[in-house]
């Protein structure tokens, strides 16, 4: 906290202390006012403007400094100035005072509170940013929340000061009127309790609930408006139609069938979507074969002088297809039909909020449904680089068709998909150049993660070119060349095959979204609210098509919310919870993360401590010949609360599970440290990282006393 903030807090604390030390509170009692009422009224008759000014200033000071007495002052306002002027003066004075208190809290404490509790406050901040005025209005109408608390707490949130001002003024008006009116009858009131009768409290509570009811009404009106031009069927053939049978669509349909809804799943290409056919499954199968080769090359490290590998790339790719075929029954039409899902193999098009046209080999038919979940996935993004179309390219969709190993491969993109495929092809013997325009690969991870992966890539013979922007592709004398810009000059990279892996873009066109006017976000995903609801309250989206993450496990996670909200929405909806999202990049060394890393914590100004355990010191890693990498844990300063974990090393993704569980259920490092981990396993690294944290927080003073105790015992 800087000195100006500290000074302000000191001034306020001194004024508040003076208030209590001098017992100024005695002037803010009904008895005192009643004893002085005649004199005050006489003064007001002689100096009406000055009386109003003094009253206004005192009111602002009391509320601005969050001192007790505002309720009595409001009554006094009514007694001195009558209902109209009393209400006007109190309304402005209380709002101004409240805004001052709000600004003090914002100036002095907000940064600190947000840095300490930013992660926990994320959802509240987002809610306030979106509907802050609405929350505040509700709080203002319910007088059981002390106003000074509301002023201070709101100052710590992102609500705009102007919004705070005007919502407070309007929200407090009803209460102000009630109190000022009561003040006009002051002679008959003996205590504040008389004003807050149960009847009045119920009226206030009703007033408080009013905005919530109003919000429901507004949502219903909005919904009516979007549905207005669409004829609604009298009855529906099914409860739910799911578009796309990838990770999101399959889980959505599974849950719907499990809760006995009538659900239809429509898939136009291959059951299992991206993950099974062109994503996780084939990539991990290919990585496995490549890893075997890498181990064989490293055989002398393991005491085996020579291990020769002979392979045909086509056979490796055939194995990849075999793996897909082996996993495929999990996602098959037969399995889902058996689970009670009506599966249609065809293309879906939303023709109204309640109808979907399914086109199959037999023709098109229209199905009616109460709700729809869009799970249409994403596809590789291909940037419009001059010459790319002409030279031809592979993407993560088409690379699996290769049967011949490219001799010289250029991989465009340093993200997870580009990096996994770069290393894999290099291990098979392709001469790979990875081109990334950012300053480093795996840019979302901490710099030392990128450094370690880059170092390994280079060690394995990969040319990693960062800060290189692919500018143009040309073919010269039968040779393909990528021209990339680097530091203002051009680099020429000859190659045989280029693989484009620069990101993925959601599938949002060609199946009715444009006709229904369902908007897309700036990230070009389908726009949804926190409950995954689109513009139409009965149409939801999940998975890559909705973002913000593009993983199989997040698609499945969202699917639960989409299906439950779509089926039970009128009664209860759930906001998708993204508080603990893990992921892994399956390069070697493997990289896994959950929650914050250091670069994000710094960017977002979140205070944190870092504990790092080097896996190079771990017995099992040494025995396995994989003594490299680290476990890095971010914790809240001085607290046993995990903010995030990054693991680099062998089986990092598997190791991370313990921390994912810990974060999800609020388990701290002390508990991890107090848990037996099997010796010798890689999982011990998690415990040792907790040990690093514990050591840094050892109670040094207490230990010094304990040392003295032992010395005394020794005599
Ligand atoms: C190379 C690669 C490796 C990956 N590795 C991992 C990994 O290791 N771990 C991980 O978690 N994630 C990984 N992913 C990401 C993961 O594959 C996706 O996040 C996941 O598949 C998204 O699932 P989804 O259901 O949203 O979309 P998809 O799986 O893309 O499914 C969408 C389906 O909708 C169908 N569809 C679209 N429009 C229509 C229509 N109009 N009518 C009918 N059907 C339609 C499509 O044909 C498709 O089958 C990887 C991705 C790639 C490309």
> Above 60 in pLDDT, residue 312?
yes
Question: What's the number of CA atoms in the CB half-sphere (13 Å) around residue 675?
Answer: 18
pLDDT attached to residue 23: 84
> What's the average model confidence in pLDDT over 301-306?
96
> What's the average model confidence in pLDDT over 91-116?
88
**In terms of DSSP H, where are the helices of 400-445?**
416-428
Looking at per-residue pLDDT, the higher value among 577 and 71 belongs to 577
Return the DSSP state at 262: -
Taking the centre of ligand 1 as the mean of its atom positions, its distance from the CA of residue 492, in whole angstroms, is 34
> Above 90 in pLDDT, residue 139?
no
> What's the average model confidence in pLDDT over 68-80?
89
| C-beta 280 within 6 A of ligand 1 | yes
Q: Six-digit token pair at 245?
A: 């049978």
| C-beta 507 within 6 A of ligand 1 | yes
pLDDT digits (tens, 9 = 90+) for 429-479: 999 999 999 999 999 999 999 999 999 999 999 999 999 999 999 999 999
What average pLDDT is seen over the chain? 92
> What's the average model confidence in pLDDT over 10-24?
86
The residue whose CA is least distant from atom 41 of ligand 1 is 348
Which runs of E-coded beta strand occur in 398-538?
408-412, 431-435, 463-465, 469-476, 479-486, 489-495, 497-500, 504-506
Q: Hey, which residues does 243 pair with through a beta bridge?
A: 266, 374
Taking the centre of ligand 1 as the mean of its atom positions, its distance from the CA of residue 208, in whole angstroms, is 45
Taking the centre of ligand 1 as the mean of its atom positions, its distance from the CA of residue 559, in whole angstroms, is 13
> Above 80 in pLDDT, residue 134?
no
Q: Report the distance separating Cα 127 and Cα 130, nearest Å.
A: 5
| C-beta 557 within 6 A of ligand 1 | no
The residue whose CA is least distant from atom 8 of ligand 1 is 280
> What's the average model confidence in pLDDT over 151-171?
89
The residue whose CA is least distant from atom 47 of ligand 1 is 269
- Nearest-5° Cα angle at 213, 212 to 216: 90
| C-beta 283 within 6 A of ligand 1 | yes
> Above 90 in pLDDT, residue 412?
yes
> What's the average model confidence in pLDDT over 30-43?
86
Residue 118 pLDDT level (bands cut at 50, 70, 90): low
- Measured from the Cα of 542, ligand 1's closest atom is 26
Torsion of CA 451, 454, 459, 462, to 10 degrees: -160
pLDDT digits (tens, 9 = 90+) for 418-432: 999 999 999 999 999
The residue whose CA is least distant from atom 23 of ligand 1 is 247
> What's the average model confidence in pLDDT over 507-524?
96
pLDDT attached to residue 209: 65
φ, ψ (nearest 5 deg) of residue 382:
-115, 110
> What's the average model confidence in pLDDT over 26-30?
84
**693-701 contacts: CB < 8 A, separation 24 or more?**
693/609, 693/611, 693/633, 693/635, 693/669, 694/669, 694/670, 696/609, 696/611, 697/638
| C-beta 357 within 6 A of ligand 1 | no
Determine what percent of the chain is predicted with pLDDT higher than 70: 93
pLDDT digits (tens, 9 = 90+) for 184-193: 876 566 666 6
φ, ψ (nearest 5 deg) of residue 100:
-65, -45
Q: Report the distance separating Cα 261 and Cα 237, nearest Å.
A: 11
Q: Report the distance separating Cα 347 and Cα 267, nearest Å.
A: 6
| C-beta 106 within 6 A of ligand 1 | no
| C-beta 565 within 6 A of ligand 1 | no
Which runs of E-coded beta strand occur in 64-208?
none
pLDDT digits (tens, 9 = 90+) for 603-632: 999 999 999 999 999 999 999 999 999 999
Which of 280, 503, 504 has most ligand 1 atoms within 8 Å of CB, for mutation? 280
Taking the centre of ligand 1 as the mean of its atom positions, its distance from the CA of residue 247, in whole angstroms, is 6
The residue whose CA is least distant from atom 19 of ligand 1 is 551
Taking the centre of ligand 1 as the mean of its atom positions, its distance from the CA of residue 426, in whole angstroms, is 25
pLDDT attached to residue 194: 61
Element (H, E) at 365: strand 363-374
| C-beta 353 within 6 A of ligand 1 | no
pLDDT digits (tens, 9 = 90+) for 485-512: 999 999 999 999 999 999 999 999 999 9
- Measured from the Cα of 250, ligand 1's closest atom is 25
């Amino acid at each position: 906290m800087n000195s100006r903030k500290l000074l302000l807090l000191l001034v306020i604390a001194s004024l508040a202390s003076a208030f209590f030390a001098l017992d100024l509170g005695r002037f803010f009692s009904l008895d005192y006012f009643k004893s002085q009422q005649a004199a005050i009224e006489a003064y007001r008759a002689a100096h009406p403007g000055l009386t109003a000014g003094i009253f206004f200033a005192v009111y602002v000071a009391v509320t601005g400094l969050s001192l007790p007495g505002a309720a009595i002052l409001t009554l006094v306002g009514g007694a001195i100035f009558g209902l109209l002027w009393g209400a006007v003066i109190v309304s402005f004075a209380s709002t101004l005072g409240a805004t001052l208190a709000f600004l003090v809290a914002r100036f002095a404490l907000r940064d600190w509170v947000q840095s300490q509790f930013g992660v926990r406050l994320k959802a509240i901040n987002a809610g306030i940013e979106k509907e802050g005025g609405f929350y505040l209005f509700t709080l203002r109408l319910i007088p059981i929340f002390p106003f000074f608390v509301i002023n201070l707490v709101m100052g710590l949130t992102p609500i705009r000061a102007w919004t705070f001002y005007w919502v407070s003024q309007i929200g407090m008006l009803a209460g102000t009127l009630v109190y000022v009116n009561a003040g006009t009858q002051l002679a008959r009131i003996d205590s504040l309790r008389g004003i807050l009768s149960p009847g009045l409290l119920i009226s206030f509570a009703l007033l408080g609930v009013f905005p919530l009811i109003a919000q429901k009404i507004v949502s219903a009106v909005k919904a009516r408006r979007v549905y207005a031009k669409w004829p609604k069927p009298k009855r529906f053939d099914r409860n739910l139609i799911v578009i796309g049978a990838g990770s999101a669509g399959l889980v959505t349909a599974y849950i719907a069938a499990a809760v006995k809804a009538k659900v239809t799943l429509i898939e136009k290409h291959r059951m299992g979507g991206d993950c099974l056919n062109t994503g996780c499954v084939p990539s991990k199968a290919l990585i496995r074969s490549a890893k075997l080769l890498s181990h064989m090359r490293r055989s002398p490290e393991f005491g085996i002088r020579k291990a020769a590998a002979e392979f045909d790339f086509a056979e490796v790719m055939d194995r990849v297809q075999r793996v897909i075929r082996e996993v495929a029954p999990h996602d098959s039409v037969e399995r889902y039909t058996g689970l009670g899902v009506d599966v249609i193999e065809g293309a879906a098009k939303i023709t109204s909020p309640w109808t979907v046209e399914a086109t199959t080999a037999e023709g098109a038919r229209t199905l009616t449904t109460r709700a729809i979940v869009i799970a249409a996935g994403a596809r590789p993004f291909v940037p419009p680089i001059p010459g790319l179309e002409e030279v031809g390219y592979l993407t993560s969709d088409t690379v699996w068709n290769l049967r011949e190993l490219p001799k010289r491969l250029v991989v465009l993109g340093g993200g997870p998909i580009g990096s996994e495929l770069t290393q894999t092809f290099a291990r098979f013997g392709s001469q790979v150049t990875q081109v990334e325009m950012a300053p480093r690969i795996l840019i979302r991870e901490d710099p030392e993660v990128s450094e370690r992966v880059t170092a390994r890539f280079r060690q394995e013979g990969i040319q990693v070119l960062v800060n290189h922007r692919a500018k143009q592709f040309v073919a010269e004398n039968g040779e393909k060349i990528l021209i990339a810009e680097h530091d203002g000059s051009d680099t020429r990279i000859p190659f045989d095959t280029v693989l484009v892996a620069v990101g993925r873009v959601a599938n949002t066109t060609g199946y009715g979204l444009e006709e229904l006017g369902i908007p897309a976000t700036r990230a070009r995903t389908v726009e949804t609210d926190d409950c995954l609801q689109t513009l139409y309250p009965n149409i939801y989206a999940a998975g890559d098509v909705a973002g913000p993450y593009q993983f199989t496990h997040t698609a499945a996670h969202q699917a639960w919310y989409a299906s439950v909200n779509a089926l039970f929405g009128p009664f209860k909806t759930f906001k998708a919870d993204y508080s603990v999202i893990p992921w892994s990049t399956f390069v070697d060394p493997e990289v896994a993360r959950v929650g914050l890393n250091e670069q994000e914590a710094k960017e977002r100004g979140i205070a944190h401590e870092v504990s790092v355990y080097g896996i190079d010191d771990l017995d099992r890693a040494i025995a396995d010949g994989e003594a490299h990498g680290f476990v890095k844990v971010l914790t809240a300063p001085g607290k046993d609360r995990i903010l995030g974990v990054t693991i680099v090393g062998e089986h990092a993704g598997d190791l991370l599970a313990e921390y994912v569980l810990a974060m999800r259920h609020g388990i701290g490092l002390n508990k991890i440290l107090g848990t037996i981990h099997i010796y010798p396993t890689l999982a011990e690294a998690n415990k040792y990282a907790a040990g690093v944290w514990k050591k840094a927080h050892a109670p040094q003073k207490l230990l010094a006393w304990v040392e003295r105790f032992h010395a005394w015992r020794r005599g």
